[in-house]
Each structure stands twice: as C-alpha cells, then as structure tokens.
Amino acid sequence: MSKVIKTGICSFGMSGQIFHAPFIHVNPNFEFTAVVERSKNLAKAKYPNVKVYTNIDDMVSDPDLDLIVVNTPNYTHYDYARTALEAGKHVVVEKPFTVHHLEAQELIELAASKGLLLSVYHNRRFDSDYKVVKKTIESGVLGDIIEFEIHYDRFKEELSYKKHKEEALPGTGGLYDLGSHLIDQALTIFGLPRKVWADIRIIRKDSVVDDYFELVLFYDTLRVRLKSSYLVKEPLAAYQVHGRIGSFIKSKSDIQEAQLQRGLMPDSPDWGAEAPHEWGLLHTTINGKTVKEFIPGGSGNYMDYYNAVYEAIANGAPNPVNPQDGANVVRVIEAAFESSNGGKVVNFA
C-alpha cells in the first residue's frame, strides 16, 4: 500500500464531479489517479494529471490503484464492485449499495475473504442538518422518542436529464435514489425495525419510475415515517422529532452540494456551515423549566467520510459506513416494495 491512496473513479457525471473527485483531490492522503470517461474529457480539463480510461475493466486492472469508487448506475453496482474486489482493490460503492440485498451479502463476504475495505457512500450521515438531529435525539432532551419523520421533497414535474434515472431498470426510482438516504439515517439512529409498511407511487405525468413514497418503520414504541414526493411546491420541515418531553423541528439545510455546484472545493473557508436562519427549533422541558430555543446547526463535511476511509485502509480503524449497513438499507427497500405491491405490513426483523 502506498502512503497516498491512489484512487480511480468509475464515472465522471454529477456524482464523480460533485461528491467524490473534489474530496479526493484536496485530501493529502489520497490521489485522484484515474477515471472512466467513455466519450467526454471533462476530468482531464479540471484535473490535468488524471489518467482517463474508456472502460472500467481497464481502469480496475491498473496496478497503481488502491481504491475504486463505484459511482455508476445502481444496477451496475454489484458487477463493478465485484470486479474491483476480485482485482484486489478496496472499494467505495455509491448508495444504494446494490439492487438486491443478497448481492450485497455476497460482496461483503468477498471483501472479507480478501481482507479489503468495502464501504458504502452514505454521505448524508455527514450533513449538518442530520448531525444536529442525531445529536439532539441522543442527548436525551426530548425523552423517549415516539415519532420521527423525515421528508426529502422536490418540485419537478419534468423528467431528469440523466436518462438512466428515468428508465424502468432495476434499482431506479425515488425510493432507491432518495429513500436510501432517509432509510440509512433512520437505521443509524434507531436500528432495524420490526415491521415495514409502504405506499410507493408514480405521480409525474410522463414518469415510468416511482417518484412518491411513504414508509412507516414500526418499532416497539416508536414510529418512523419517511416521505418523498417530486410534487411538493411548499415543503414541510425535513425533520420532525417528537419525544415524551419535547420536540425538535429542523429544515433540510446542508449547503455542501450547493457549494460544490458553485465550484467551491472542500477546503474552502466556512465549508458546510449552516446559516443561523436554518437552525432547528427545540421545544422541551429541562430541569422543570420550559425551553424553546433555536439550536445551532454546525457544519456538515463529507470529508469526514474520506478521512475515515483513509484511516480504515491505512491503520485498520473502523469503516465509516459498514457494508452491512448498506445491505440493511436495501433490505428495507425490498420490504417496502413488497408492502406497497401487496397492500400489507411486512414483518422485518
């Protein structure tokens, strides 16, 4: 293993340009060494030293590479991650980990047999809004949590220009795309549910993939609701948390994606810092006194994920997103489709 982790990225669309290359490029522990671009030459223009391959097999065969980032369409994740692991490379896979959880389990076993890191890029664990919600819940100031609701809404009738997201292929649609984030956030705080109920629909005029979902995760005394719609003109708060002694309401306010789209790099001043008007509202009772105040949101930073990946590879530190977590997200997605298609509550745990 070289001191610097030489990294190849499997595609240079939005995911590669926005969520991976900038963090690899500015991190001194990594080198953005190679990329796959079949027809365009966008990466070379921004990163002149990067090697450009026209197919993934050739890049994965590069003996200089230590780590492969699989950020291709969802239905390819299993095949490309397996190819990289069989070539002896550490692997980061974009969410959702795979289309089917049995594929995920196979990859987990393969990585373990070869002593390689396999991690899932659930980057929304490192959003400023989610971090403050998780911290508030874990602090105990709300008491036992009774209800937790997350929204990831948009207002966009027209179809995406990313054609692979709008085709009726395995792993496409809003639940795999946006639902992966919400499910992972819920499971990270509360663990696996006992039961799953879902309503999954197509609501845009020309869509052939699901673009509306509501999930309910059943725990012993807790209900978790996860919702997304592409036709919400005036969105509600992204996070609504209600406990026995208080509530916490929080907007979807992480600014990292917007910063990256403006061309900022993750080493920019005030990276990921929330504006005060986005702070969450806490209304609870502490030491017998009513408290109603806004809680600072802090900063999000996806670099924390890559720093942890480096420590895991170089020093044996914990994996920042265990692949079993990614497999569990896919299990919930599969249970949700079973529930929606069958009009029933599905036993899970």
Better-predicted residue by pLDDT, 158 or 60: 60
Mean pLDDT (whole number) for 55-76: 97
pTM exceeding the 0.85 threshold for the entire prediction = yes
Q: CA-based angle 236:238:239, to the nearest 5?
A: 115
Q: 190, 222 in Cβ contact below 8 A?
A: yes
Domain boundaries, the chain: 5-121, 125-303+331-347
Average pLDDT, the chain: 96
- Whole-number pLDDT of residue 163: 79
Q: Tens of pLDDT along 279-297?
A: 999 999 999 999 999 999 8
Instruction: Copy the structure tokens of residue 189.
Output: 């705080």
- Whole-number pLDDT of residue 28: 97
| Whether CATH 3.40.50.720 fits 5-121 | yes
Q: 31, 5 in Cβ contact below 8 A?
A: yes
User: 125-303+331-347 maps to which CATH number?
Assistant: 3.30.360.10
With a cut of 90, say whether residue 109 has pLDDT above it: yes
287 Cβ contact list (under 8 Å, min separation 6): none
Whole-number Å distance between alpha carbons of 107 and 103: 6
- Whole-number pLDDT of residue 2: 55
